Structure 1
Amino acid sequence: MTNHKVYYSTANEMADVPDNSVNLVVTSPPYPMIEMWDEIMKQQNEEIEKQWEKENYNEAFELMHKVLDKVWQECYRVLDDGGVACINIGDATRTLSKNFVLYSNHSRIISACLKIGFQNLPNIIWRKQTNAPNKFMGSGMLPPGAYVTLEHEYILVLRKGTKREFKSQESKDLRSESAFFWEERNQWFSDIWEVKGTRQKFKDEVRKRSGAFPFDIPYRLINMFSVKGDTVLDPFMGTGTTALAAMASNRNSIGFEIDSKFEPTIVENLLGTESMLNQVISDRINRHIKFTDLRKAEKGSDCFKYQNSHYGFPVMTRQELGIAFEYVKKVSYENKSFVTNYHGINVLENPLALF
């Protein structure tokens, strides 16, 4: 069973979250200097509005980041030693007072987090696939007034302290069950990800103010940087994508959302998702089976030395022997908390045929 707590307050107010109690942060904050986030940033500090009216945009940019700095400070406090923070952020390009410039959000956040005490690990460039026919901005074919377009965002990877240790047998067993497949490692641990962005269908004003990232982003990060039973924090919960990925991964989660109007949307997105979550697991297993079949066809049926101890499918390395999935039985909601119950690891007679 995993628990998923939602707080409808600012992420600055994490008093209910104890020190060193979170294992992973996965979030995507409002992007300073992106127009859709202007008002919510100005609401956090009236000085931002004053600087904006004076056309002091660099000062407004800095003040917006000072709002975020408080959140990164709290994330550092609640993270356990060895815990990781993954922050999805894009830089902003904008024309203000007839002047087009880039505001480097990712470098400003890295600078702030290093001052707090985080260590910066290799970051990920999320290249967002696009079908846009025009790859330029500005004056078209005439130099020097054309500008390259931004087709990527960043996923910053920051750690508190040194590498996490697993000393007890129970923690080692959970780590073994939480391992990823060899071929997943080769894809996930590249520094360039090509993942399609989420095209959202807006039903109301709340959804229009959501900058949700696609499910695959937090799902990968949660499986890369945490183990079963860990607690994942999203200080900018939005529509609840990180919590949903935590449910699929048998992790607990905590989410903070400043706007209580998001509650119906979060409930709608997380309740009744049992089939979807189990399909995620099924797809992951089936992709692995397809990989093993292709590898056998290329290299011969004896190319695998190991078999997973729970399901019997072949795996590339000894570290994959203990990989185990727990399928979602029921997601329930009460008192601003979701509870996810799971079937046992071997509950199905044929775990490769979920549906």
Structure 2
Amino acid sequence: MVTHHLTHFDDAEKMNDVATRSVHLVVTSPPYPMIEMWDPLFCRQAATREAMDNQAGMRAFELMHRQLDRVWEELYRVLVPGGIACINIGDATRTMGGQFSIYPNHSRILSRMLDLGFSNLPNILWRKQTNAPNKFMGSGMMPPGAYVTLEHEHILIFRKGGKRLFNTRAEKANRRQSAYFWEERNQWFSDVWMDLKGTRQKTGDRQLRQRSGAFPFELPYRLISMFSVMGDTVLDPFLGTGTTLFAAATAGRNSVGYETDDAFRPLIEEQCKGAIEQGRQRIGQRFENHRQFIGDRETAGKAVKHINRVYGFPVITRQESELMIPLPATVEQTQPGRFSVTYDRPEVPAGGQPASVPKASPSEPTGQLPLFD
């Protein structure tokens, strides 16, 4: 099994290198309009710069979103029927022209996506709460001068058309093998995510760090596992440091990314070298979490009725019986901006011993051990 990952250092407003109806899933976090760190990007447009100079907040907000709108139009073109788009976006608060206000980025994007013909599926609130005593905005204890603190971002989820169809025997088998664990379903498909922490940028370039708003690896990895199957193509039109690329590689999906800032190129290439170790660690943690979950359930005297046929361990539902998770083995840069990843893929045993679960340890990256005694 091999997946391919391609980065274009170009504007995603015209993704000419991506064929129509060739992408199965979009996972992205665009620059946030009206957040100061992204002003220089949006103000490349003269009209936006003029609105900001004149402190015309709502006009600047609208002009910034019109720049993003052109990317959303491309998403509708490149997605397959039934394809999913997940957009991580936060609202902004800002004082413009002496007036403090919230700028609702999530609702503006939602409105445009609906206009384009997408269906909005239930969305996720990513709660990034902080316990800092000075987190509140405004004048503190004197009403009505304090403002509610924004401690969440939105993950907007859209579908192009109706449910995606899996018609052939091979497509149906691949879908079954791409299943997730029952307990992961219960956690991942909650509409509030409180277990994900923001990520600190690893680049030592302060200016480059300020131009990136990377989400944690777990966010795209989780969404990719939820809304695509192995071998699918995942697109991120605002790639940044390449987190979506690495998450897709870990999950056994192909990926395409667009990034306007060529300064990110060496960082993406450098981090690709560590993608194998990171991927093996995350997959190993999934198996360890499942082992602990089953152990706790059996200790509590609760029934576990089904067996996964690949690994031979207990699972809760019949839909998990063919679940398999290929383990990233090698990564190779084949051309500038192009990477290939190979995998150790377990096979359903025809008889005899089930497949062993690879041990995802950086000290023993290729060792294996049984998951359950």
Instruction: Tell me what 1:2 maps to.
Output: 3
Matching residue of 1:286: 288
In the TM superposition, residue 349 of structure 1 has moved relative to its aligned partner by 6.0
Q: Tell me which residue corresponds to 2:243.
A: 241
Question: Which of 341, 344, 350 is 2:356 aligned to?
Answer: 350
By how many angstroms is 1:202 displaced? 4.7
Task: Kindly state the Cα deviation for residue 76 of structure 1 after the two structures are TM-superposed.
Answer: 0.6
Aligned residue type for 2:359: A
Name the residue aligned to 1:18: 19
Output one character per residue of 1:208-259: Cα deviation in whole Å (capped at 9) or x when no partner: 2110000111011000000000000000000000011001100000000001
Query: Contact 1:126 / 1:155 at 8 angstroms: preserved in 2?
Result: yes
Q: For residue 300 of structure 2, give the secondary structure of its aligned residue in structure 1.
A: helix
- Distance verdict in 2 for CA 1:51–1:268, change over 3 Å: same
Q: Would you say the 8 A contact 1:243–1:255 is kept in 2?
A: yes
Q: Normalising by the residue count of structure 1, what TM-score does the alignment of the two structures yield?
A: 0.96
For the residues of structure 1 that align with 2:311 and 2:360, how far apart are their CA atoms? Answer: 13
After TM superposition, give the deviation of residue 338 of structure 1 in Å: 1.0
On the 8 A contact 2:51/2:60 being kept in 1, the answer is: yes
- Provide the TM-score with structure 2 as the length reference: 0.92
> Which residue is equivalent to 1:217?
219
1:147 has 2:147 as partner: yes
Please, which runs of 5 or more residues in structure 1 have no aligned partner? none
Conservation of the 8 A alpha-carbon contact between 1:89 and 1:154: yes
Task: Map 1:331-346 onto structure 2 (within 5 A).
Answer: 331-333=331-333, 334-346=335-347
Residues 141-150 or 50-59, more deviating: 50-59
Residue of structure 1 in register with 2:252 after alignment: 250
Q: Say if 2:172 is the partner of 1:182.
A: no
Moved more, 10-19 or 105-114: 10-19
Amino acid across the alignment from 2:28? T
Q: Which amino acid aligns with 1:127?
A: R
Question: Is this contact kept in 2: 1:202–1:208, CA < 8 A?
Answer: no
Paired residues of 1:310 and 1:322 also in contact (CA < 8 A): yes
Contact 1:307 1:315 in 2 (8 A): yes
**1:353 Cα offset (Å):** 3.5
Q: Which of 295, 298, 302 lines up with 2:297 in the alignment?
A: 295
Three-state SS of the structure 2 residue aligned to 1:299 is: coil
Q: Amino acid of the residue matched to residue 339 of structure 1?
A: S
Q: Note the C-alpha offset of 1:350.
A: 2.8
* Distance (Å, rounded) in 2 between the aligned partners of 1:310 and 1:235: 36
The CA deviation at 1:286 is 0.7
Letter in 2 for 1:292: I
Aligned partners of 1:25 and 1:86 also within 8 Å? yes
Does the CA-based 8 Å contact 1:272-1:331 persist in structure 2? no
Structure 1 position 193, deviation (Å): 0.3
Partner of 1:101: 101
Structure-1 separation of matches of 2:119 and 2:66: 19
Q: 2:229 aligns with which of 208, 227, 230?
A: 227
Q: Distance in 1 between matches of 2:271 and 2:202?
A: 13
Letter of the 1:343 counterpart? D
Aligned partner of 1:40 in structure 2 is 41
Cα offset, 1:329, TM superposition: 1.1
Give the superposition deviation at 1:52: 1.5
Tell whether the 8 Å contact from 2:29 to 2:87 is kept in structure 1 after alignment.
yes
Q: Deviations over 1:134-174 (max 9, x none)?
A: 34210110011110110000000000000111110111111
Matches within 5 A, 1:116-131: 116-131=116-131
The answer as to whether partners of 2:10 and 2:260 remain within 8 angstroms in 1 is yes
C-alpha spacing 1:129/1:18, structure 2 compared with 1 (3 Å): same
Q: Residues of 1 paired with 2:134 and 2:164: CA distance?
A: 45
Residues 224 and 349 of structure 1, relative CA distance in 2, 3 Å threshold: closer
2:100 alignment partner, SS class: strand
Aligned pairs, how many?
352
1:335 partner amino acid: P
Within the alignment, does 1:326 sit opposite 2:332 as a pair? Answer: no
Q: Which position in structure 1 is the counterpart of 2:274?
A: 272
- The ranges of structure 1 where at least 4 consecutive aligned residues each deviate by more than 2 angstroms after the TM superposition are 199-202, 346-350, 352-355
1:345 positional shift: 1.5
Distance in 1 (alpha carbons) for counterparts of 2:202 and 2:210:
9
Contact 2:203 2:267 in 1 (8 A): no
| Percent of aligned pairs sharing the same letter | 54
| AA partner of residue 166 (structure 1) | F
Distance 1:169 1:242 in 2: 29
